[in-house]
Amino acid sequence: MPAGLTAALVLGRMRRRVALLDGDDPAHAPSEAVHGFLGHDGAPPADLRRIGREQLAPYTSVDTRMAEVGGASVEDGGFSLHVGGEVIAAAFVLLAAGMRYRPPAIDGIDRVWARGAYHCPYCHGWEVRNLPLAAHGADEMGVHLALLLTSLSGDVVLLTDGDDGLAPEQKAELLDAGIAIREQPIARLESEGDRLARVAFADGATEERAGLFFAPAFDPSPLIVELGCETDDSGAIVIDSEGRTSVPGLFAAGDATTEKKAVVLAAAAGSRAAYAINAELAHRRGAARIG
């Protein structure tokens, strides 16, 4: 919940009343460490979240609750959030519920998720540098991932998993970059210990790989539908440059949105949305003031 924690920090420092509702079930929990976040590179996700909650403690206008929002609705002039047996009224809502990553349906991928099977080269590529790597997919994203991996390893293969849908120009670009293409259907991922060791194909062949990168599907929060905001084809929330959704007063930040997905980007988006929310509060006639 880096977006929500950061937004709460910004608003708390401006003495705004905030209810931070954290279901404590983040999508990045299986990861061994957070990377690419200056000052926190290599920190376990649980530690990053704990530090964030501790640093909110001095801001007494922020009420942090380890509780999941069970439902939400748009009301006249604001929102109602159902938390346990309580209904919380809010003038603004920042939805930072994230997304559930859904990896490809490959046998064995659950055993090596975040330990050889990854969704982000920027987050996890350094840890498997100079090792044999693979990208998965027979579309533009698969090609893009494979090309990104060439700065990390000289041994990269694109696995199309039985799909021969690559365009000739895409194949030419991959081959020109030194990327091999394997089109056989994948039977399973094999591990040694809890780490990816190889890809086994349906024809009996194998490919030794230390890292497999893929573009996951996403399972959005049901709150997105309940609040009625516009989404794209993947279910992600469409936002403007400050995090506003199509619903007045409803903001979104982090993995639930159409923006790129990474901890550092989610934190930045949460801060940006909090600036916009605070500005709107400041311009409201009769807005509550402290002191």
128 and 189 together in one domain:
yes
Helix (H/G/I), strand (E/B), else coil: 68: coil
Residues in the chain: 291
Is residue 291's pLDDT more than 50?
no
Is residue 2's pLDDT more than 70?
yes
95 and 152 together in one domain:
no
Reported as a single tens digit per residue, the pLDDT across 98-116 is: 777 788 999 999 999 999 9
Over the chain, what is the mean pLDDT? Answer: 91
111 and 151 together in one domain:
yes
117 and 205 together in one domain:
yes
60 and 201 together in one domain:
no
Q: If we measure between CA atoms, which residue out of 210, 200, 90 comes closest to residue 153?
A: 210
CATH code, domain with 231:
3.50.50.60
**291 found inside a domain:** no
- pLDDT higher at 221 or 162: 162
221 and 95 together in one domain:
yes
Q: Which of 167, 184, 213 is the last residue of a domain?
A: 213
Reported as a single tens digit per residue, the pLDDT across 120-145 is: 999 999 999 999 999 999 999 999 99
The tokens of 27 are what? Answer: 């999508």
Predicted local confidence at residue 100, as pLDDT:
78
169 and 42 together in one domain:
no
93 and 224 together in one domain:
yes
144 and 175 together in one domain:
yes
Q: What is the CA radius of gyration of the chain?
A: 22
- Between CA 132 and CA 134 the distance in angstroms is 7
Determine the structural domain holding residue 16 and report its residue range. Answer: 2-100+217-283
Model confidence band, residue 38 (pLDDT cutoffs 50, 70, 90): confident
- Between CA 129 and CA 251 the distance in angstroms is 38
**55 found inside a domain:** yes
What is the tally of structural domains in the chain? 2
**289 found inside a domain:** no
89 and 225 together in one domain:
yes
Q: Report, as an integer, the average pLDDT of 53-79.
A: 92
Q: Which of 213, 248, 275 is the last residue of a domain?
A: 213
The tokens of 203 are what? Answer: 């024809």
The tokens of 162 are what? Answer: 């039985």
Reported as a single tens digit per residue, the pLDDT across 200-241 is: 999 999 999 999 999 888 788 888 989 999 998 878 899 999
227 and 85 together in one domain:
yes
Q: Which of 165, 189, 213 is the last residue of a domain?
A: 213
In this prediction the pTM is 0.88
